[in-house]
Structure 1
């Protein structure tokens, strides 16, 4: 059984590497001008950092700063990601992730949830890779993200700190439909080049050049 479990993990990792190497929107070229977004990663989880207000979208209407404890800051960007409810709410660090939770997600899946953080002028870094997309692509990205927004009244939960918050959201989290797959799906729907199946963070960031320092 142990060997079988190890083999299954290795096969899943191999499938993830292969799937993330197959491009969607393979002919896409980053434009010289447009809207700068960022692909955020901690090595395990990815998120989209977006300007708070543009002609295409004012995210304050969806995610007001009043929803976070530190509401009085001059926020300029938000970070949006989708993930699994139990993992988001009850695993403040990856060391808190229990094997039972992992097995449950693999076996039956879990409920979706959004994580939104508010930032003031985030700088490009190893953890936040900038990417310029056209305004039309940004409009499509906004429309794709709006499909993941809570339906009806928003139910929110406290975040990890004073500048972030969680919201109940539609969608089922599974081993094949992960937080990183959500990120690449949003980019793909915008028309941006990204991997076909990206269960791991590296499968998303491999398509985004590292930030210039």
Structure 2
């Protein structure tokens, strides 16, 4: 009869590995929920007057919607109509997101998600992109939350977004084709990982500007609960 000891040991080892991974995933989710409940800038309040930005949630990723240009900040040197597949689709507001380069380029929809792409993004990479959608002036909705901020907070938010663009030797942004006619990717700074996700990027931009949000926001709901 064939010996079964080696096969059984391998199965037990595989079971232990799977149990460890499940435990790690559970701990990560709990830590993400806990981190998002801890307020940073806890005494922040919306000013009676100021500028309105929007936090956007597509169910997985969050981003920030700002005017393309106003008296406080101007993105038109970085984000230009000719970068789009159809320049006529340029609009007066921009939806900014940030994430892993390979994940963005290889996953235009959740139906395109591959296991190796997701695992690579969790492990992390030095290659990241800013994703910019041109949008009309947004209206408040369940997934589009308005926030009124002071001019100083607005400038810090805009500066945080600008700093994410990786510029070429001439100081220009570096566009790549987007998913459609009204969006575009740009080479970005920063390392994506399970710790620094697209949603944590949104939270960090707001925290650094002085807006009240969770201490660590790796998930979309951890950002949106504050607005």
| Alignment TM-score, normalising by the size of structure 1 | 0.93
CA deviation after TM superposition for structure 1 residue 108, in Å:
4.4
Q: Which runs of 4+ in 1 moved over 4 A?
A: none
How many corresponding residue pairs?
Answer: 208
d(CA) in 1 for partners of 2:138 and 2:161? 20
Aligned to 1:92: 108
Partner of 1:141: 157
- The structure with the largest strand share of the pair is 1
In the alignment, the residues of structure 1 paired with residue 134 and residue 39 of structure 2 have an alpha-carbon distance, to the nearest angstrom, of 31
Ranges in structure 1 where 5+ consecutive residues have no aligned partner: 209-213
Distance 1:168 1:17 in 2: 30
1-side partners of 2:67 and 2:108: how far apart?
26
SS at match of 1:185: helix
For residue 163 of structure 1, the aligned residue among 182, 186, 191 is 182
Assess, with a 3 A threshold, how the Cα gap between structure 1 residues 189 and 132 changes in structure 2: closer, same or farther: same
Alpha-carbon separation, structure 2, partners of 1:24 and 1:35: 21
1:35 maps to which of 28, 51, 55: 51
**CA distances 1:179-207 after superposition (whole Å, capped 9, x unpaired):** 11111110011110011111111111111
Which aligned pairs between 1:3-18 and structure 2 lie closer than 5 A?
Answer: 3-18=19-34
Q: How does 1:59-98 map to 2 (within 5 A)?
A: 59-73=75-89, 75-98=91-114
> TM-score, with normalisation over the residues of structure 2?
0.87
Aligned-residue offset at 1:146: 1.8
Q: Structure 2: 5+ residue runs without aligned partners?
A: 1-16
Q: Distance in 2 between matches of 1:8 and 1:158?
A: 36
